[in-house]
Amino acid sequence: MITTTSQAEARQQKREPVLSIRQLVKRFGGLTAVNKVDMDVYPGEVVGLVGDNAAGKSTLIKCVSGVYHPEDGEIYFQGRRVNFARPIDARNAGIETIYQDLALAGNLNVSANIFMGREAKKRHLGGLIHTLDERYMLDESKQVLDTLEIRFPSYTEQIEKLSGGQRQAVAIARAVYWQARLMIMDEPTNNLGVVEQRKVLELIHKLKEQDVPVILISHTLPDVFAVTDRIVVLHRGRKVTEKSTSETDSQEIVQYMVGALDDSAEIRTA
């Protein structure tokens, strides 16, 4: 196992990892997409998961979020061994994955999206009739958006009228509101303008302040270096290195991404 300084620091603070992945293996037919990967995420930590196309980033993440079922290895979440049958189970446990398509309903407004599937209701006639508690949902939505310093011109407009970055913000706010214990973000800055990209990165900082750990999957190394504490590099399904962000640079990371450098090989040969 590769030990890095930041992990050591985290242990010194006696903080248990939120997420622990041990020797995880996922195969598709003859192809081993994820090969004996170990990974830890500590509270309030932003971990970058990088690698070339088909390096196994998305597969690894989908094993954690219950989309795929690993062939071998273990996943521990908040100290407990987990084995999510479906994505909704992972979500109920507190693992929120924000995919590129955002999983928002464009025809609904901000608060309806934040409360989608978990709408607040008012009781009438002794519980005989339930109506939506729009006021409560709107107030709560404004509050969570405020803590993330997100402002919209209108909270009652359908979100398809919002920009890509604003929608991303709604998705993040939803995860925060429902107290995600771990946030997985898959290419969150793709298809966004420069200003919006910066806003999303700011949001990741905010999540860190709220002690919500984030796994950030991204091709955009400047983004990764801007927000992460630690970077994990995958190459052809294997973890080739894990570096504290402050102790590496993008040139070195690229070397790992293309397979020119490989720490795990050194360990094996040693």
- Between CA 243 and CA 5 the distance in angstroms is 8
- Between CA 134 and CA 196 the distance in angstroms is 29
Residue 50 backbone phi and psi in degrees, to 5: -125, 165
Considering only residues 1, 31, 105, 260, which one is a binding residue for other proteins as defined by CB under 8 A? 105
| Closer to other proteins by Cβ: residue 139 or 247 | 139
Stretches 21-29, 68-76, 105-113, 214-222: which one binds other proteins (CB under 8 A)?
A: 105-113
- Between CA 183 and CA 74 the distance in angstroms is 19
Count of residues near other proteins by CB under 8 A: 21
Stretches 15-23, 52-60, 95-103, 230-238: which one binds other proteins (CB under 8 A)?
A: 95-103
How many other CB atoms sit within 10 Å of the CB of residue 135? 11
240 sits near other proteins (criterion: CB under 8 A): no
CB of 105 to other proteins, least distance (A): 3
Residue type, 269: T
CB of 174 to other proteins, least distance (A): 9
| Closer to other proteins by Cβ: residue 118 or 151 | 118
- Between CA 267 and CA 2 the distance in angstroms is 9
Q: Which of residues 106-165 bind other proteins (CB under 8 A)?
A: 106-108, 112, 116-119, 121, 130-132
Cα Rg of the chain, angstroms: 20
Q: H or E element: which one contains 164?
A: helix 164-177
* Residues lying near other proteins in the complex (CB under 8 A): 87-88, 91-92, 101-108, 112, 116-119, 121, 130-132
